């Protein structure tokens, strides 16, 4: 909000001026309360919720394994950054907070990783001490920075925003088929586990029993309730043939 646009408040100034990124002014002490009331009224007319809680503009989603010194040098070639040329902001979902501690005057220093990946990164969150400790898993928005210490140079993350992880689970594929003159229904469900997606085939018989098998596993669950289901070896012919029939039925579903 520009003070130049707030014409009702300008009548209380002694003088004012400056460039478009500045708001210098002076006013007599006796005008302070009237100026405050006028400015508040103007703000209520003009401010929208998004002005009070600005969103972070993300430039790209990336995996932590893609971050290295070569990528940093490419970004560093864009400097100097500032108004009209902001630092690129990256986003990585479902990151694990391995370690975290408060340093200096209320800053956070963290070690972050992703599931099934050996790479770990140091991250800094300036003036985030009041949010300590962060949840074990978060989506993060960040800038890249380079840090040199004891002759070693490493790329680090500078956090600018976090949120709890959000997952989007696709609608399951469903089909109906007949096997040995019995009617079955089946579905292929994608579930999230950490940063990985797992496929589970579920086959229901006319009596309501469900056979659930995760891709690549030879042991499945069979029962009407998951918590009471028994383990079965799905390589046995009676289960194996049923699974083949269900797979064929799902293959024709687009």
93 belongs to a structural domain: yes
CA geometry: angle at 82 spanning 79 and 86, to 5°?
80
Q: Going by C-beta distance under 8 Å and a sequence separation of 6 or more, which residues neighbour residue 3?
A: 9, 10, 16, 23, 25
103 belongs to a structural domain: yes
Radius of gyration, CA atoms only, the chain: 29
- Please check whether residue 138 is in contact with residue 164, taking contact to mean a CB–CB distance below 8 angstroms: yes
Residue 195: pLDDT band (50, 70, 90) is very low
What is the spatial order of strands in the sheet that 196-204 belongs to?
Answer: 173-179, 182-193, 196-204, 210-214, 219-223, 230-233
242 belongs to a structural domain: yes
Please return the burial class of 200, using the count of CB atoms within 10 Å of its CB with bins 0-12, 13-18 and 19+. Answer: middle
1 belongs to a structural domain: no
224 belongs to a structural domain: yes
Query: What DSSP state is assigned to residue 61?
Result: E
Strand 90-103 relative to strand 60-61, pairing: parallel
Is 69 found in the same domain as 136?
Answer: yes
23 belongs to a structural domain: yes
Is 103 found in the same domain as 46?
Answer: no
- Report the b/e string of 214-234 with b at 16+ CB within 10 A: eeeeeebbbbeeeeebeebeb
Is 204 found in the same domain as 158?
Answer: no
Is 108 found in the same domain as 46?
Answer: no
How far apart CA 149 and CA 97 sit, in angstroms, is 23
Is 92 found in the same domain as 32?
Answer: no
Is 47 found in the same domain as 74?
Answer: no
Is 98 found in the same domain as 27?
Answer: no
168 belongs to a structural domain: no
Boundaries of domain holding 73: 60-163
Q: Into how many domains does the chain fold? A: 3
Lowest mean pLDDT among 99-108, 125-134, 190-199, 201-210: 190-199
Is 70 found in the same domain as 152?
Answer: yes
The confidence score (pLDDT) of residue 193 equals 44
pLDDT in tens, 37-59: 887 877 777 776 656 656 788 88
pLDDT in tens, 105-129: 899 999 999 876 778 999 999 999 8
């Amino acid at each position: 909000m520009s003070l130049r646009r707030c014409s009702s408040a300008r009548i209380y100034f002694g003088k004012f001026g400056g460039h478009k990124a500045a708001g210098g002014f002076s006013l007599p002490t006796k005008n302070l309360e009237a100026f405050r009331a006028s400015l508040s009224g103007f703000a209520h007319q003009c401010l929208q919720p998004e002005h009070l809680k600005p969103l972070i503009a993300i430039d790209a989603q990336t995996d932590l394994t893609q971050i290295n010194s070569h990528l940093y040098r490419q970004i560093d070639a864009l400097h100097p950054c500032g108004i009209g040329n902001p630092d690129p902001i990256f986003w990585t979902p479902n990151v694990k907070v391995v370690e975290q501690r408060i340093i200096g005057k209320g800053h956070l220093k963290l070690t972050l990783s992703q599931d099934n990946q050996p790479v770990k990164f140091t991250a800094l969150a300036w003036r985030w001490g009041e949010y300590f400790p962060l949840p074990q898993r978060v989506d993060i928005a960040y800038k890249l920075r380079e840090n040199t210490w004891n002759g070693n140079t490493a790329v680090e993350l500078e956090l600018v925003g976090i949120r709890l992880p959000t997952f989007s689970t696709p609608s399951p594929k469903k089909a109906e088929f007949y096997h040995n003159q019995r009617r079955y229904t089946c579905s292929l469900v994608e579930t999230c586990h950490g940063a990985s997606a797992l496929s589970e085939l579920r086959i229901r018989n006319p009596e309501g029993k469900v056979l659930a098998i995760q891709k690549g596993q030879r042991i499945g669950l069979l029962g009407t309730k998951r918590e009471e289901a028994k383990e079965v070896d799905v390589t046995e012919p009676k289960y194996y043939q049923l699974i083949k029939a269900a797979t064929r039925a799902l293959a024709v579903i687009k």
